[in-house]
Amino acid sequence: MSQLQILDAYFAENREKHLEELSEFLRIPSISSLSEHKQNIQTAAEWLADELRELNIENVSVDQTAGHPVVYGEWLHAEGKPTILFYGHYDVQPVDPLHLWESEPFNPVIRDNKLFARGASDDKGQVFMHLKMIEALFATEGTLPVNVKFIYEGEEEIGSPNLPAYVEEHKTKLAADLILISDTGLYAPGKPAVCYGLRGLTGVQIDVRGAKGDLHSGLYGGGVQNAIHALADILASFRDEHGTIQVEGFYDKVLPLSEEERQAYRELNFDEAALKQEIEVIELFGEEGFSYLEQTWARPTLEINGVFGGFSGEGIKTVLPAEAGAKITCRLVPDQDPNEIVELLKAHIDKHKPKGVEVTVSEFDKGAPFLTPFDHPLIQAAGRSYERIYNVPTAFTRGGGSIPIVAAFDEILSLPVVLMGFGLNSENFHAPNEHFHLENFDKGLRVLGDYLYEVSNLKF
Q: Which DSSP category does 402 fall into?
A: -
The answer to whether 1 contacts a copy of itself (rule: CB under 8 A) is no
> Hey, which residues between 205 and 224 contact a copy of itself (CB under 8 A)?
205, 210-212, 215-224
Give 311 or 460: the residue with its C-beta nearer to a copy of itself.
Answer: 311
Q: Which DSSP category does 405 fall into?
A: H
The answer to whether 292 contacts a copy of itself (rule: CB under 8 A) is yes
Query: Shortest approach of a copy of itself to residue 351 CB, angstroms?
Result: 13
Determine the interface stretch with a copy of itself among 37-45, 188-196, 199-207, 450-458 (rule: CB under 8 A): 199-207
Give 39 or 277: the residue with its C-beta nearer to a copy of itself.
Answer: 277
| Furthest-apart CA atoms within the chain: distance in Å | 89
Q: By the 8 A CB rule, do 74 and 58 touch?
A: yes
Give 82 or 210: the residue with its C-beta nearer to a copy of itself.
Answer: 210
**What residues have CB less than 8 Å from 5, skipping those under 6 apart?**
none
Query: Shortest approach of a copy of itself to residue 356 CB, angstroms?
Result: 4
The answer to whether 250 contacts a copy of itself (rule: CB under 8 A) is no
**In a 3-state reduction of DSSP, which class is residue 279?**
helix
Give 326 or 341: the residue with its C-beta nearer to a copy of itself.
Answer: 326
Q: How many residues bind a copy of itself (CB under 8 A)?
A: 80
- Report the C-alpha gap between 429 and 423 in whole angstroms: 9
Which one of 191, 229, 253, 346 is in contact with a copy of itself (CB under 8 A)?
Answer: 229
Determine the interface stretch with a copy of itself among 112-120, 158-166, 338-346, 395-403 (rule: CB under 8 A): 395-403
Give 138 or 308: the residue with its C-beta nearer to a copy of itself.
Answer: 308
Determine the interface stretch with a copy of itself among 11-19, 156-164, 184-192, 322-330 (rule: CB under 8 A): 322-330
**What residues have CB less than 8 Å from 47, skipping those under 6 apart?**
24, 25, 28
The answer to whether 372 contacts a copy of itself (rule: CB under 8 A) is no
Give 44 or 293: the residue with its C-beta nearer to a copy of itself.
Answer: 293
Q: In this structure, what is the dihedral angle of CA atoms 67, 29, 25, 60, given to the nearest 10 degrees?
A: 10
**How many other C-beta atoms can be found within 10 angstroms of the C-beta atom of residue 410?**
20
The answer to whether 34 contacts a copy of itself (rule: CB under 8 A) is no
> Hey, which residues between 264 and 283 contact a copy of itself (CB under 8 A)?
279-283
Q: By the 8 A CB rule, do 326 and 205 touch?
A: yes
**What residues have CB less than 8 Å from 37, skipping those under 6 apart?**
29, 30, 31
The answer to whether 306 contacts a copy of itself (rule: CB under 8 A) is yes
Which one of 12, 66, 273, 316 is in contact with a copy of itself (CB under 8 A)?
Answer: 316
Which one of 81, 299, 437, 443 is in contact with a copy of itself (CB under 8 A)?
Answer: 299
Q: Which amino acid is at 99?
A: H
CA angle centred on 149, ends 143 and 151, rounded to 5°: 140
Give 248 or 358: the residue with its C-beta nearer to a copy of itself.
Answer: 358
Query: Shortest approach of a copy of itself to residue 94 CB, angstroms?
Result: 18
**How many other C-beta atoms can be found within 10 angstroms of the C-beta atom of residue 436?**
31
Using alpha carbons only, how large is the chain's radius of gyration in Å?
25
> Hey, which residues between 69 and 108 contact a copy of itself (CB under 8 A)?
none
The answer to whether 399 contacts a copy of itself (rule: CB under 8 A) is yes
First-last CA distance in the chain: 28
- Report the C-alpha gap between 52 and 150 in whole angstroms: 9
Determine the interface stretch with a copy of itself among 74-82, 128-136, 178-186, 307-315 (rule: CB under 8 A): 307-315
Query: Shortest approach of a copy of itself to residue 307 CB, angstroms?
Result: 5
Determine the interface stretch with a copy of itself among 10-18, 156-164, 229-237, 442-450 (rule: CB under 8 A): 229-237
Helix/strand/coil (H/E/C) assignment for every residue in 311-342: CCCCCCCCEECCEEEEEEEEEECCCCCHHHHH
Which one of 94, 164, 190, 310 is in contact with a copy of itself (CB under 8 A)?
Answer: 310
Query: Shortest approach of a copy of itself to residue 233 CB, angstroms?
Result: 5
Strands (E), 128-272: 147-153, 178-181, 193-198, 200-209, 215-216
Give 139 or 224: the residue with its C-beta nearer to a copy of itself.
Answer: 224
- Phi, psi torsion values for 340, nearest 5 degrees: -65, -40
Query: Shortest approach of a copy of itself to residue 253 CB, angstroms?
Result: 17
